């Protein structure tokens, strides 16, 4: 705020307080207003490992997301992540213990941490852990980045593009994995569609026992080992974390922050943005450090849940296979819109099978491969991520294409249709080749936790009525 503005504000406060017979000097004008900070940190969202607020896919190729001229939409599928949330229980415990140890520091903080001298922690009680951020549970009344508002805004954007595919009279199903935050996101989305529609929210169990009949195949995959490629991912230099810790410790003698704690400060920054709308903690990093943090996350995701781990293509085939079936049957189904909500890794597993973010170049832990990198995890699955499959008809042919976080992402080997789409039969062939000899149930050794071998909920929801118990996971 300019000096002039501050003076005017102070004069206004003085005169109004005098009018009320109060002493003006009793109320100091605050040095910095939250409203000045909110909205100033959006350029760093892409560097926060998908933990910070939603942002559109940054490298939009310029292809309009509306169906091309003279083409008619036939089916829309959505696989979406829940919206902005509080940390998980395990991350929350680590953050709380870090906050406690910072509070033990006997002196005033200097340098970039000096905001902590007058600071209120953003996790106000443990009940919010694992949950969506909402208007109600936000730390700041003017937080624009709640999971609640994200889902509600998304639903309005969805209506603006696809309303014509919805039938006001007929009941239709929306599907959510049984994690409470995922379910809540779906409910916010449905609420925002308005009362014209008759929606039945189907809650699909994400317990391993649900086997293949799930929106979160990762939980039904005992064969998956998060450390399978840790020998590669651990090679990435964490010197940037040591540098951050040294800088903070130099500014604050006796603080003794460790590199692991420096790593947690990125998490702090991201989740505080979701809960408060801004985070002074985000300002302690240099751009270079943010780039290192972001690439380290790309690298681990690539080898744990993406193209770097061959098993993942089988995990993702569970959902891709169902999605292809829905596309093929579109003329015979009485629902033209298929909306599903789940977790980040499930969407990543699915897109790995589709093959949208794999240029065949394995991510290298010895340097940041700027020019060769198309696997930016946070661009693909930020909080509130949304992956649409569009099927449309132009003259006598039908076509399929993907819209990821508001950007059309063509299948490069099949993109000669209108709007860089893939002609439907070519698409089915592409899918068949991609999933040839792939069997989720076998590859994952799912039989050790379940005997359910097929994903059926899109087809049998009316008969079954899925209402799994909600889980905080
Ligand atoms: C293949 C595979 N990859 C990862 C996991 C673990 N996992 C899945 S969802 C989730 C919570 C965070 O996601 P969100 O923030 O979207 O709720 C975690 C920890 C698994 N079980 N299988």
Atom 18, ligand 1: residue with shortest CA distance: 345
Does the pLDDT at position 159 exceed 80? yes
The mean pLDDT of the chain is 94
Strand 171-177 and strand 337-342: the pairing is parallel
Residue 347 C-alpha to ligand 1 middle, in angstroms? Answer: 10
- 52 in contact with ligand 1, CB cutoff 6 A: no
**What is the structure's pLDDT at 34?**
87
Does the pLDDT at position 271 exceed 70? yes
CB atoms within 10 A of CB 244: 24
pLDDT > 90 fraction of the chain, expressed in percent and rounded: 92
Confidence of residue 30 (pLDDT cuts 50, 70, 90): low
Does the pLDDT at position 109 exceed 80? yes
- 183 in contact with ligand 1, CB cutoff 6 A: no
> Helices (H), strands (E): how many in the chain?
15, 8
Q: Which of 259, 216, 278 has its CA nearest to residue 52?
A: 278
**What is the structure's pLDDT at 28?**
54
Place of tokens 């014209």: 196
Does the pLDDT at position 199 exceed 80? yes
Classify burial at 21, counting beta carbons within 10 Å of its beta carbon; exposed 0-12, middle 13-18, buried 19 or more. exposed
Catalytic (active site) residue 454: no
ipTM above 0.90?
yes
pTM of this structure: 0.93
- 74 in contact with ligand 1, CB cutoff 6 A: no
Average of pLDDT values for 134-139? 97
- Token pair listed for 464: 């079954």
Mutate to test the pocket of ligand 1, among 343, 383, 446, 470 (most ligand atoms within 8 A of CB): 343
Q: Give, for 320, the enclosing helix (H) or strand (E).
A: helix 311-328
Summarised one tens digit per residue, pLDDT across range 222-251 is: 999 999 999 999 999 999 999 999 999 999
Alpha-carbon span 134 to 128, nearest angstrom: 10
Helices 259-276 and 239-251, packing angle to 10 deg: 80
Atom 9, ligand 1: residue with shortest CA distance: 343
Average of pLDDT values for 457-464? 98
Classify burial at 371, counting beta carbons within 10 Å of its beta carbon; exposed 0-12, middle 13-18, buried 19 or more. exposed
Place of tokens 């100091």: 28
E-strand ranges in 82-218 read 171-177, 198-204
Confidence of residue 352 (pLDDT cuts 50, 70, 90): very high
Does the pLDDT at position 63 exceed 90? yes
CATH of domain 41-464: 3.40.50.1240
Identify the active-site residue in 82, 154, 343, 376: 82
Confidence of residue 27 (pLDDT cuts 50, 70, 90): low
Catalytic (active site) residue 82: yes
Q: Which of 205, 207, 211 has its CA nearest to residue 441?
A: 211
**DSSP helix/strand/coil, 168:** coil
How far out from the chain centre does Cα 367 lie?
A: 26
CB atoms within 10 A of CB 396: 5
Q: Give, for 73, the enclosing helix (H) or strand (E).
A: strand 71-81
- Token pair listed for 144: 């624009």
**What is the structure's pLDDT at 19?**
40
Atom 14, ligand 1: residue with shortest CA distance: 343
Does the pLDDT at position 25 exceed 70? no
All structural domains of the chain with their residue ranges: 41-464
Alpha-carbon span 245 to 290, nearest angstrom: 14
Q: Say if CB 404 and CB 380 are below 8 A apart.
A: yes
Summarised one tens digit per residue, pLDDT across range 165-174 is: 999 989 999 9
Does the pLDDT at position 13 exceed 50? no
Residue 428 carries which DSSP code? H
Summarised one tens digit per residue, pLDDT across range 205-222 is: 999 999 999 999 999 999
- 266 in contact with ligand 1, CB cutoff 6 A: no
Alpha-carbon span 189 to 431, nearest angstrom: 30
Q: Give, for 397, the enclosing helix (H) or strand (E).
A: strand 397-404
Mutate to test the pocket of ligand 1, among 270, 345, 382 (most ligand atoms within 8 A of CB): 345
Does the pLDDT at position 131 exceed 80? yes
Alpha-carbon span 158 to 418, nearest angstrom: 21
**What is the structure's pLDDT at 16?**
42
Strand 337-342 and strand 71-81: the pairing is parallel
Alpha-carbon span 188 to 311, nearest angstrom: 34
Q: Which residues, other chains included, contact 31 with Cβ-Cβ below 8 Å and sequence gap of 6+?
A: none
pLDDT > 70 fraction of the chain, expressed in percent and rounded: 93
Does the pLDDT at position 362 exceed 50? yes
- 337 phi and psi, to 5 degrees? -120, 125
Alpha-carbon span 313 to 308, nearest angstrom: 10
Residue 218 C-alpha to ligand 1 middle, in angstroms? Answer: 7
Atom 2, ligand 1: residue with shortest CA distance: 218
**What is the structure's pLDDT at 33?**
76
Average of pLDDT values for 288-308? 98
Summarised one tens digit per residue, pLDDT across range 35-61 is: 999 999 999 999 999 999 999 999 989
Alpha-carbon span 345 to 98, nearest angstrom: 27
Residue 92 C-alpha to ligand 1 middle, in angstroms? Answer: 16
Q: Which residues, other chains included, contact 445 with Cβ-Cβ below 8 Å and sequence gap of 6+?
A: 221, 222, 223
Alpha-carbon span 332 to 423, nearest angstrom: 19
């Amino acid at each position: 705020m300019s000096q002039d503005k501050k003076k005017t504000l102070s004069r206004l406060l003085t005169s109004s307080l005098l009018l009320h017979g109060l002493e003006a000097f009793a109320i100091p004008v605050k040095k910095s207003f939250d409203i000045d900070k909110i909205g100033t940190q959006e350029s760093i969202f892409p560097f926060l490992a998908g933990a910070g607020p939603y942002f559109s896919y940054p490298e939009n190729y310029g292809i309009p997301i509306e169906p091309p001229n003279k083409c008619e939409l036939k089916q829309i599928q959505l696989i979406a992540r829940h919206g902005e949330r509080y940390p998980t229980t395990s991350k929350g415990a680590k953050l709380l213990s870090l906050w406690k140890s910072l509070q033990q520091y006997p002196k005033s903080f200097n340098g970039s941490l000096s905001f902590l001298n007058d600071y209120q922690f953003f996790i106000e009680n443990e009940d919010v852990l694992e949950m969506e951020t909402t208007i109600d549970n936000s730390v700041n009344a003017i937080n624009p980045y709640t999971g609640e508002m994200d889902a509600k805004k998304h639903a309005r954007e969805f209506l603006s593009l696809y309303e014509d595919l919805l039938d006001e009279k007929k009941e239709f199903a929306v599907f959510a994995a049984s994690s409470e935050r995922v379910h809540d996101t779906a409910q916010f989305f449905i609420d925002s569609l308005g009362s014209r529609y008759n929606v039945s929210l189907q809650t699909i169990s994400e317990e391993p026992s649900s086997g293949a009949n799930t929106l979160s195949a990762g939980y039904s995959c005992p064969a998956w080992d998060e450390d399978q490629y840790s020998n590669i991912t651990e090679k990435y230099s964490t010197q940037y974390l040591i540098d951050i810790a040294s800088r903070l410790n130099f500014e604050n003698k006796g603080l003794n922050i460790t590199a692991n704690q420096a790593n947690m400060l990125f998490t702090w920054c991201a989740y505080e943005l979701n809960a408060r709308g801004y985070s002074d903690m985000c300002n302690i990093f240099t751009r270079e450090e943010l780039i290192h943090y972001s690439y380290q996350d790309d690298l681990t995701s690539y080898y744990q849940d993406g193209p770097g781990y061959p098993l993942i293509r089988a995990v993702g085939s569970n959902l891709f296979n169902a999605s292809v079936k829905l596309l093929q049957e579109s003329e015979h189904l009485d629902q033209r819109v298929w909306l599903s909500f789940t977790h980040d890794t499930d969407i990543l597993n699915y897109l790995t099978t589709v093959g949208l973010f794999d240029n065949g170049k394995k991510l290298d832990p010895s340097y940041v491969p700027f020019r060769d990198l198309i696997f930016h995890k946070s661009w693909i699955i930020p909080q509130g991520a949304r992956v649409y499959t569009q099927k449309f008809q132009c003259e006598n042919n039908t076509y399929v294409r993907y819209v990821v976080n508001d950007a059309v992402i063509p299948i490069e080997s099949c993109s000669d249709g209108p709007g860089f789409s893939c002609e439907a039969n070519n698409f089915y062939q592409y899918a068949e080749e991609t999933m040839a000899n792939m069997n989720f149930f076998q590859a994952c050794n799912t039989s050790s936790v379940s005997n359910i071998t097929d994903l059926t909920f899109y087809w049998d929801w009316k008969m079954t009525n899925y209402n799994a118990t909600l889980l905080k996971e």
